[in-house]
């Protein structure tokens, strides 16, 4: 890991030069946080971390990530609220690939605007140059699912931080994690690098982080045990934006329903003591309605599907086997606490043939 870290820091310094500046796409997840820390180590305060509020995130996520990155990890962070712009871009769109591409285009557009503003603010200093680079925490599994890389590979779906990017960009990409897997066969490289860089206590044997975007909510002690690493994981396993979990048109009312169902599911997982056993979990909203009975009246409500998987590398995954009482309890809470929901399903599909996300 030390060799990888040293080479990447040197490579970033060489790419950016002595005066170049980098704008970093951060989410609070392990991947983007590790990538951001590598860049900060390489070029210091010429790195600018930016979190985009795209209006598609989980309940309280922006506030939580902001506190994590600024208070606990001391990263200089700019938060950009572009939520309405993203929702406008997705209006009337139901096809998954088109959603991803629109998200990608809007993502780059917002970042270019932010980079320009930060460049103008830094123009008073003669010691720095323009912001010409965009940092992303892309991983090799994302690349494999998005395009051909290191040999033939059929496209499974476009990740909006890889294949969904426009062909022509004014900002050049830096992706220090691009060729890394996060799996047991590679000594949990991302987790190892996170400890090496952020917590200064490298342990290549620790458990893998819960998902390719799992939040690091609190700082780790300098001496870690295997159980401590698991115990310090953030309460909500977050990987992708909510637009991937609304099958069909995306709008604010649908997002509000999804966020509430998602929170109930994750809260119940935590309460049941199952959090450490699950790699990723979320609720999704289906584009269908079903007849139900609530009280003495007929209802015709929306349908929620729950998904929880276990995996070591995110290339393959199996559905987690809850006991029936747990599923019944979550179903009862969602239907009784969220108006307009008439059915709740549990997805038992493995990967392959399915993917972890719904879109």
Phi, psi of 317 (to 5 degrees): -160, 155
Phi first, then psi: what are they for 303, rounded to 5°? -120, 130
Residue pair 350/285 in contact by the 8 Å Cβ criterion: no
Residue 220 near residue 195 (C-beta atoms within 8 A): yes
For the annotated binding site for ATP, the residues are 27-33
Q: Which residues make up each annotated binding site? A: 27-33
- Whole-angstrom Cα Rg for the chain: 21
């Amino acid at each position: 890991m030390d060799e990888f870290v040293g080479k990447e820091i040197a490579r970033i310094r060489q790419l950016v030069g002595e005066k170049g500046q980098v704008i970093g796409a951060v989410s609070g997840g392990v991947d983007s946080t590790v990538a951001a820390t590598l860049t900060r180590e390489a070029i210091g305060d010429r790195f600018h971390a930016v979190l985009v509020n795209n209006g598609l995130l989980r309940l309280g996520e922006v506030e939580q990530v902001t506190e994590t990155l600024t208070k606990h990890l001391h990263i200089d962070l700019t938060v950009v609220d572009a939520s309405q712009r993203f929702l406008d871009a997705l209006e009337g769109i139901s096809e998954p690939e088109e959603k991803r591409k629109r998200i990608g285009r809007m993502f780059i557009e917002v970042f270019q605007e932010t980079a320009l503003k930060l460049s103008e603010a830094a123009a008073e200093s003669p010691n720095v140059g323009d912001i010409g680079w965009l940092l992303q925490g892309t991983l090799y599994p994302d690349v494999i699912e998005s395009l051909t890389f290191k040999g033939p590979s059929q496209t499974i779906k476009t990740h909006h931080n890889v294949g969904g990017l426009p062909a022509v960009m004014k900002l050049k990409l830096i992706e220090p994690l691009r060729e890394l897997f996060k799996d047991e066969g590679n000594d949990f490289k991302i987790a190892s690098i996170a400890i090496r860089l952020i917590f200064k206590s490298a342990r290549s044997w620790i458990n893998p982080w819960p998902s390719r975007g799992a939040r690091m909510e609190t700082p780790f002690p300098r001496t870690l045990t295997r159980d401590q690493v698991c115990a310090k994981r953030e309460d909500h396993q977050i990987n992708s934006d909510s637009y991937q979990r609304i099958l069909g048109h995306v709008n604010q009312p649908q997002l509000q329903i999804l966020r509430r169902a998602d929170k109930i599911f994750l809260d119940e997982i935590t309460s049941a003591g199952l959090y450490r056993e699950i790699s990723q979990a979320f609720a999704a909203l289906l584009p269908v309605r079903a007849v139900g009975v609530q009280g003495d009246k007929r209802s015709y409500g929306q349908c929620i599907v729950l998904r929880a998987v276990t995996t070591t590398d995110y290339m393959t995954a199996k559905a987690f086997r809850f006991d029936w009482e747990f599923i019944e309890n979550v179903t009862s809470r969602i239907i009784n606490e969220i108006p307009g929901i008439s059915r709740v399903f549990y997805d038992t599909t493995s990967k392959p043939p399915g993917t972890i996300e719904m879109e």
